[in-house]
Amino acid sequence: MTEPSVYTLAHLREWNRSAPSLAVIGSPIGHSVSPAMHNAALAQFADLAGWEYFRFEITPAELPEALAQFAARGFAGINLTVPHKVSAYELIPDRDASACEAQAINTLHFAAGQKPRGYSTDGYGLLRGLAGDFGFEPAGRTVLVLGAGGAGQSAVVALEKAGARIFWYNRTAGKVSALIPRLGLENTYLVNAGQIPWEETGLVINATSAGLREGDGVPVALPAGRRDLCAYDMVYKPAQTPFLREAAARGLRTANGLSMLLHQGAKAFEIWTKKAPPVEVMEAALKKTVYDP
């Protein structure tokens, strides 16, 4: 029987594999290329033979049961993507400092005889990705972050901690107003779409899910002629989102979220396996899957 490319909660309830499993969960999840990256990494280690990484379509209503099932079914760990990062934080009481700072979880580790432990590797992955793609160092720079979901929260916390000043935009302004004090942010400021101080901004990050679906628009109007302004989209598939196409057309420097995916995934791999991640192998697998499928 052919294995499905995307699994569901129904599959999880019947899960029975002898070797440890890993997974990414989200809704939608069919676009995720994390299995290619992690399965390539797992194949580098003889003592991880039999380990495999899967995709699961899990809705918000299914999340509590799914987390319990993953813990009970022999999974070593999971990644969480849209829309589960903040909800998982509320459901998982045992959290690493990285998750507590971001108040979001994108990585869970299930160790035998222990409670599931939550981490946020997104901020680490973003900073490594920005350095590699743009040579961008946050200290003393001003960054505009679009979106206040789990990925946006992690981005803002990591960037401010690294010394950046943040302008934060979200369609629901009240969410940002509440998050700034809740996250203990001291150099982050709410802006609306009509009052973005572009002249002060060196980097704009799309941390919304706009771009995942055909026909998605651009979250805000971008300025023209700013070759010194970098535009980064956390979405990596499609490789050229509407946001990045618009940014390129206006003369901005652009990069998609593949670099963030790589480095957050490498950190997660290290958490699960206690091994140094084979980053070059993981990167090659990602690029082959996204750019040469």
- Beta bridge mates, 231: 204, 254
Q: Provide the terminal-to-terminal Cα distance of the chain, rounded to the nearest Å.
A: 23
Q: At what angle do helices 34-42 and 258-273 cross, to 10 degrees?
A: 40
Rg (CA), the chain: 19
Active-site position among 85, 161, 237, 275: 85
Residue pair 110/70 in contact (Cβ under 8 Å)? The answer is yes
Alpha-carbon distance 102 to 89, whole Å?
9
- Pinpoint the alpha helices (H) of the chain: 9-13, 34-42, 63-72, 85-91, 97-102, 122-134, 150-161, 173-182, 242-249, 258-273, 279-291
94: alpha, beta or left? (left if phi > 0; alpha if psi -120 to 50): beta
Alpha-carbon distance 209 to 51, whole Å?
30
- Name the pairing type of β-strands 107-109 and 75-80: antiparallel
Q: Which amino acid, 180?
A: I
Closest alpha carbon to 221 in 200, 240, 204, 238: 204
Backbone angles phi, psi at 77, to 5 degrees: 180, 165
Q: Is 85 considered catalytic here?
A: yes
Q: What positions carry a catalytic annotation?
A: 85
